[in-house]
Chain A
Amino acid sequence: MLGCSRRLFYRVRLSPIRRTLSTSPVKPNPLTVAPARKRNFKFSYERSSHTIVEEPELKVPENKLDFANYQRNSYKLKISEEDAKKIPSILTLHARLVLSSKYQYSTLVRALTCQMKENEYADNKQMALFGANLLSFYVTENLISNYPRLPISILKTATDAYIGDFSLCDVAQNSWGIEQDETSNLEKYLSSEPKLFRFGRLRYDKHTTQVEKGITKFDNVTVTSLDHATAFADAVRAIVAGVYAHDGEEITKKFIQSHVLSRKIDISSMFQFREPGKLLSRLLRVKQMEPPTVRLISETGRLSNSPIFVVGCFSGDSMLAGGEGSSLKEARIRSFVNALKAFYLYKPLDSKMPSDDDFKPLFVDEGEPFY
């Protein structure tokens, strides 16, 4: 009895101390400045244009601004143009992409070789970096001139939808028919495949090993290892850089337009509005327009189990957008969303890009901070 009361006493007395001593289960990260190597980017297209190549693998000249004399230490071997012409898959890829006669076959071989452990052949790492620079400029320019009012977050998501790892991986595998080198040396020997033919496929250090069908083991994360999508995307980026090196920037721009920007992405579905009414009234206030009013335009079957209401969202006398729904509330919210999308997805007629020859000054977005 006595022991029990003492235990209770301690529990009562110590509990506030314990509470102050206990740490939160989610401990916040210490506030430190992240070094360049640790920088995390949200989108894969941003990561790809910030690749780092540092000194043990790079021979830096005395004068660091002498960019002509930088050299990679690992480079010792190169597939010659004559050898590259013997590889069927390289010839096919060259023909399929309708590359010019100036585009060398050995450049395609290099574009399909990623940085690997104990690899002495020239790889695509720095070509992919330059290709990423070209791609992200031309895609951003295209989006800004075609959709000048896109909010920044949607602009970046749309850019990633064009040139992120997964999209470019899709281009490489499904449009360009690039394959990865999966067979072992023994299998190649048994099928009496010449050694040279492996350079016609994408070669990279894989993150994972396929133990058996349906089981993937994530056991091989090293400095040089890449995941499937990044490796394929880097090959595409390197091929784009190759077009620049052999044919110049104008042809590269056309190449990007026909292979990347020609793909359809649905920007409208990237928007998610939490409180569309509030957002619209704030937007109209900033643009010095009258606040939104919703008016019923037509309706049918109000007393039935499937009514339809059509409403219009107005600012003063001008109708911003219409909306329909099976309840008045649904129709109203849809009209707000449509009005917001009509604003953000405004597209000028006959827009010209800054890199076009017959360029005209663009509509300049002034920006608004709510989205």
Chain B
Amino acid sequence: MQSLLREGLKACRPVTLNIQQARSVVFVRGERVRGLIRDPEDILTSNGRRYGLNDANLKPLKQFLGDEYKLTDKMILQVITHKSFAHGTRPYNEKLSILGEELLRLAASKYALAKGVVNGDASDYKFSVGDINFDCLGSLTHRLIVTNRLLSEYAESQGIDKVFFCKVALPRNYSQDQAKDYKPKAMYSTITSSLVGAIAIQRGKNTAEKFVQEKVLAGILPAINERK
């Protein structure tokens, strides 16, 4: 009887199993597929380049700035990140570009007015105000200096738009292969303008104005001359 009970208890004894649960999630990369989860890494890649604070990403802008207009690495990364990148979750350049654009516009006007100074003798031109001839302001050439088109072309000519983190909305007739060549000027002009803003914020207005005079205007004005 007892042996029977022992056998029965043995049979009832719970069997311990080592079950490890593993959840396998399949992420989808590239184009959106309905019902599948996108790889979170996907939004951190722009034009095949992974977002991050590393030398490969910062090199073009660092080389361009040199030691004279040196910026911190974090700031450089912010300059080359547009608001559209990674749903705006990474530090982006919008406010820098607003300050930069204001400074560019002021510096462009000051440049034009400095050209119009009548060498300390106001009698040369009757309508100058305290040796300054204001008549060139608002002209097509003056207005062209700070435009999205020329600022983005400048960024391209200096090679500082090689690394730019943004998410471009492609027009309908564009294929994914053409995406690399599609550079909306409103977006790419923020590289130049935010660079000016970043120099102003980190090194002061005088340095930023010197940068505009020596580097930006020196690149943009010949481009205006060619367009005549």
Interface residues of A (CB under 8 A from B): 36, 49-54, 58, 60, 64-68, 70-72, 75, 78, 102, 104, 107, 110, 122, 125-127, 129-130, 133-134, 136-137, 140-141, 144, 152, 155, 241-242, 245-246, 286, 353-356, 359, 361-362, 364-369
Task: Compute how far the CA of A253 lies from the CA of B143 in the bound complex, rounded to whole angstroms.
Answer: 24
Q: CB within 8 A of B127: which of A60, A122, A365? A: A122
B: number of interface residues (CB 8 Å): 56
Q: Any chain A CB within 8 A of the CB of B65?
A: no
Q: Which residues of B contact A137 (CB under 8 A)?
A: 102-103, 105-106
Q: Which residues of B contact A140 (CB under 8 A)?
A: 98-99, 102
Interface residues of B in 182-225 (CB under 8 A from A): 198, 200-206, 208, 221, 224-225
Interface residues of B in 100-144 (CB under 8 A from A): 102-103, 105-106, 109, 112-113, 115-118, 125-127, 129-143
Q: CB within 8 A of B134: which of A126, A155, A355, A366? A: A126
Task: Compute how far the CA of A20 lies from the CA of B15 in the bound complex, rounded to whole angstroms.
Answer: 72
Q: CB within 8 A of B138: which of A52, A241, A361? A: A52
Across chains A and B, the number of contacting residue pairs, with CB separation under 8 Å, is 158
Q: Any chain A CB within 8 A of the CB of B87?
A: yes
Q: Is the CB of B225 within 8 A of A65?
A: yes
Q: Is the CB of B138 within 8 A of A364?
A: no
Q: Any chain A CB within 8 A of the CB of B60?
A: no
Q: For residue B83, which residue of chain A has the nearest CB?
A: A369
Q: What are 22 A-B residue pairs whose CB atoms fall within 8 Å in the complex?
A: A50-B143, A51-B137, A52-B138, A64-B141, A71-B135, A72-B135, A78-B127, A110-B129, A126-B134, A126-B136, A133-B105, A140-B99, A141-B99, A141-B205, A242-B130, A354-B201, A354-B204, A359-B204, A364-B96, A367-B83, A369-B88, A369-B92
Q: Any chain A CB within 8 A of the CB of B95?
A: yes
Q: Which residues of B contact A246 (CB under 8 A)?
A: 129-130
Q: Any chain A CB within 8 A of the CB of B57?
A: no
Q: Is the CB of A364 within 8 A of B201?
A: yes
Q: Which residues of B contact A36 (CB under 8 A)?
A: 143
Q: Which residues of B contact A64 (CB under 8 A)?
A: 139-141, 224-225, 228
Nearest-neighbour CB distance to chain B for A352, whole angstroms, equals: 9
Nearest-neighbour CB distance to chain A for B217, whole angstroms, equals: 10
Interface residues of B in 152-199 (CB under 8 A from A): 198
Q: Which residues of A contact B93 (CB under 8 A)?
A: 367
Q: Is the CB of B92 within 8 A of A366?
A: yes
Q: Is the CB of B131 within 8 A of A361?
A: no
Nearest-neighbour CB distance to chain A for B189, whole angstroms, equals: 15
Q: CB within 8 A of B91: which of A50, A356, A367? A: A367
Task: Compute how far the CA of A242 lies from the CA of B83 in the bound complex, rounded to whole angstroms.
Answer: 38
Q: Which residues of B contact A110 (CB under 8 A)?
A: 129
New A-B contacts (13) at CB < 8 Å, excluding given A67-B112, A354-B208: A64-B139, A68-B136, A75-B135, A126-B138, A127-B129, A129-B137, A133-B106, A134-B106, A136-B102, A152-B94, A245-B130, A245-B131, A245-B132
Q: Which residues of B contact A366 (CB under 8 A)?
A: 78, 91-92
